[in-house]
Structure 1
Amino acid sequence: MTDKTLGVGLSIDVKDPNFRDIGSQIDEARHLGANFVELPLHKLDIVVGGRILKDRLADLKERITNHGVAYTLHGHLGINLMEDSHLIGLHRDVLKANLEIAQALGAVHLVIHSGFCRPQQASSVEHAYDRQREILASLGGEAEAADVVICVENIFTYDFARHTALPSRLAAELRLVDHPFIQATFDFSHGYQHCAQVGADFVTEAKALTPFSKHLHLHDSFGRPKDFWTYSLTEDLAFGAGDLHLPMGWGSIPWDRIAAECAFPDGVVGDVELQYRYWSEARATVEAARAFCARLGGAPLAVAAE
């Protein structure tokens, strides 16, 4: 790794509702070359109605301790800070629970998705952005006290039934929030898909967001929206359609241009998000991620693995 990066992570799956498989998943990720593991809070039954089940959190913490890796945490996918006003308080409460869990587990980054809303009058969309920005700004101090960077991940629309920020708009929102503990997760494939949907230039959009991107989601695709019928995931692969979560190098994301032309902050974690059907390529993808991150350059940083 270069000095700019904290390390390379691997997102794991957890199928046992009582977390009994999480230790073996973490050990496998370390065996595959990752020094970070991204834990899927959205698959762990710890938050109930916005309230943390303390016993289950304690059990999870015990199960992830002393595995020789550091952690990031992917928060609940349903958190939507651009939600309608009558629901926004609930989403804020779940986010605050996510932050408390990230602190308890020693995660350096908490990943949440950027908000979305129904396409509607421009003033309503801007009010939704206001809600998201106000909540993020209000949590900056809590995130700093917890020593957890909240990293807002760019997403894309599946059917144009909702609006979400392009990478450049997310960057503009984070610039307005202006807090060192409120940063971005750049999911390159999400950005590639979104730019193709709306006719934006992907590298231009990437250049806007990467200066805020303390966290990276690394997987490949072809930037080809899934807007036509196929029979199966194997056929999606054949057509190169959708957010495929492919091994790096299988798709057409311009990794060389990104590494050469984009600026990144210090303290980056590059996390591999690989579709499990391609898990045989996990080691090669972790190595590709490490090689990509090694090209980012930067100032000295260090992290102590748990």
Structure 2
Amino acid sequence: MDARSPLPPIRGVGYSIRSGSPEFEDLVAKLDEAEALGVDFVELPAFAWTLVVNGEVRPDRLERLVRMTRERPFGYTVHGPLAINLMAPKAHLPRHAALLDAMIDVAGALGAPTLVLHSGCIRGDDDVAVAYSRQREALTRAGDRAAAQGVTLCVENIFRFEPMRETALPSRLAGEIDAIDHPFVRATLDVSHAWLRASDARADFAAEIAALAPYARHVHVHDSFGRPAESWIMDESERLALGEGDLHLPLGWGGIDWDDVARRCRLAAGTVVNLELHRRYWSELPAQIPLLRALADKFAFHTPAAT
């Protein structure tokens, strides 16, 4: 599509692949699977691969990854390292910023329009307002680098987990992105994460997702019960049995009312809707793709077309 042409209400649907090899030796088979399923995008788990060492991209590995991803009938989005924390203490921030720069280069080399990174968090006794200010400054700088490569940074809302003291509610993240006011710094709206964070804060889930949706260029969908993890478990199956935590369930397995989510979320034109499924439910993937497309159509119905 010509870059000057208006984007459709929903740019496409995709899903996050799960890689078991740090050398991405299993990637070809996973891309073959995605091609057979007919999706528009594949989200690459760059956080799980040996691509960056001490903030520097390994060029030989990136070149191999680029070769392996060529000539497919879909595009790519990239999920960066979960460890990137732009609200980290000032002394640690340069390492996180360098890692983000490296991941921008990775996404640019892959031709990915979107790089997902998690919203920052505070684990110590740092001043909250100062930490948010650091994140705004870091995202503004990184946004300039991303713009030069045609990559949009999509900051994903997360939830508090031990020993995290602070991370933004979706409405707060919306306010931060609005304050940054950079066209290449947008959001990833993770619906289930929003429910978990709203439950923890006793906030209005529907209002929270509605606040962040206009800033999103990427949506992560997966199901849960919006119940923060509280119980000790030995195996993930016990977490599932209790209905607690960030379960990454197939759509329809949890308690999220997806029709209501689609009604409340006025997404920007050109948004990608991406399924993040836990690998233990991978057998459900073929049946999930039609549900994912149907959900994207519902989002599109409530989203203004670009002009």
Task: State the partner residue of 1:267.
Answer: 270
Give the CA deviation at 1:3. 2.9
User: SS of the counterpart of 1:228?
Assistant: coil
Q: 2:89 aligns with which of 73, 84, 97?
A: 84
Task: State the partner residue of 2:204.
Answer: 201
Give the CA deviation at 1:8. 0.7
Q: Does 1:128 align with 2:131?
A: yes
How far does the alpha carbon of each residue in 1:33-88 deviate from its partner, in whole angstroms, 9 at most, with x for none? Answer: 32100001111101000011111100110011112210000001100000000010
Does the CA contact (< 8 Å) of 1:12 and 1:25 recur in 2?
Answer: yes
Distance 1:230 1:77 in 2: 23
User: SS of the counterpart of 2:198?
Assistant: helix
Give the CA deviation at 1:285. 1.8
Give the CA deviation at 1:296. 2.0
Q: Does 1:148 align with 2:154?
A: no
Q: 1:216 aligns with which of 193, 216, 219?
A: 219
Q: Does 1:299 align with 2:299?
A: no
Does the CA contact (< 8 Å) of 1:32 and 1:283 recur in 2?
Answer: yes
Distance 1:205 1:294 in 2: 22
Distance 1:201 1:300 in 2: 29
Does the CA contact (< 8 Å) of 2:209 and 2:264 recur in 1?
Answer: no
Q: Does 1:225 align with 2:228?
A: yes
Give the CA deviation at 1:119. 5.8
Q: 2:80 aligns with which of 75, 80, 86?
A: 75
Task: State the partner residue of 2:53.
Answer: 48
Task: State the partner residue of 2:37.
Answer: 32
Give the CA deviation at 1:300. 5.5
**Aligned-partner residue type, residue 132 of structure 2:** Y
Give the CA deviation at 1:238. 1.8
Distance 2:163 2:211 in 1: 23
Distance 1:139 1:274, change over 3 A: same
Higher alpha-carbon deviation: 264-273 or 26-35: 26-35
Give the CA deviation at 1:256. 1.1
Q: How many residues of Structure 1 are paired with residues of Structure 2 in the alignment? A: 298
Give the CA deviation at 1:118. 2.6
Q: 2:250 aligns with which of 231, 237, 247?
A: 247
Give the CA deviation at 1:197. 1.0
Q: Does 1:165 align with 2:171?
A: no
Distance 2:273 2:195 in 1: 17
Distance 2:163 2:23 in 1: 37
Does the CA contact (< 8 Å) of 1:117 and 1:125 recur in 2?
Answer: yes
**Percent of residue pairs identical:** 45
**Aligned-partner residue type, residue 88 of structure 2:** E
Does the CA contact (< 8 Å) of 2:217 and 2:267 recur in 1?
Answer: yes
Task: State the partner residue of 2:3.
Answer: none
Does the CA contact (< 8 Å) of 2:121 and 2:164 recur in 1?
Answer: no
Distance 2:237 2:144 in 1: 46
User: SS of the counterpart of 1:295?
Assistant: helix
Q: Does 1:236 align with 2:239?
A: yes
Give the CA deviation at 1:138. 1.6
User: SS of the counterpart of 1:222?
Assistant: coil
Q: 2:69 aligns with which of 31, 42, 64?
A: 64
TM-score, normalised to structure 1, is: 0.93
Give the CA deviation at 1:257. 1.2
Give the CA deviation at 1:30. 2.4
Does the CA contact (< 8 Å) of 2:239 and 2:245 recur in 1?
Answer: yes
Distance 1:29 1:204 in 2: 34
TM-score, normalised to structure 2, is: 0.93
User: SS of the counterpart of 2:193?
Assistant: helix
Distance 2:125 2:218 in 1: 31
Task: State the partner residue of 1:304.
Answer: none
Distance 1:174 1:117, change over 3 A: same
Distance 2:106 2:156 in 1: 19
Structure 1: where are the runs of 5+ without partners? 302-306
Structure 2: where are the runs of 5+ without partners? 1-6
Does the CA contact (< 8 Å) of 1:223 and 1:252 recur in 2?
Answer: yes
**Aligned-partner residue type, residue 157 of structure 2:** N
Distance 1:125 1:251 in 2: 33
